[in-house]
Amino acid sequence: MWNPYSVIENILMTEKSMEIKEVNKYIFKVSRAASKIDIARAVEKIYSVKVKDVNVLNRKGKPKRMGRKSSKQGHTASTKRAVVTLSEGNIEVL
């Protein structure tokens, strides 16, 4: 069974996302395996709105140093974000 909550991890609340909310666009952190169609269906099911368009951004993790003087390097996790445009309605965010 397909679970919409496994596709949408969370909604991102940043300054940029608050600005584009004015034009009915919302930014979500989504599963790396999710397609645009999966994302649109999940948003429609969870929030009971009509999705007009979905744009996807794959963000590569950044290298980070492990410790002050250590030459070891790690990296942050790679993420996938979706910018979802709604045709009508709004998403209630607390």
Query: Which pLDDT does position 43 carry in this prediction?
Result: 93
Domain boundaries, the chain: 4-61+77-88
Residue 72 clears pLDDT 60, i.e. is over it: yes
Query: With a threshold of 0.75, does the pTM exceed it?
Result: yes
Residue 82 clears pLDDT 50, i.e. is over it: yes
SS3 per-residue string spanning 16-82: HHHHHHHHCEEEEEECCCCCHHHHHHHHHHHHCCEEEEEEEEEECCCEEECCCCCCCEEECCCEEEE
CATH number belonging to the domain at 4-61+77-88, selected among 3.30.300.30, 3.30.70.330, 3.40.50.300, 3.40.30.10: 3.30.70.330
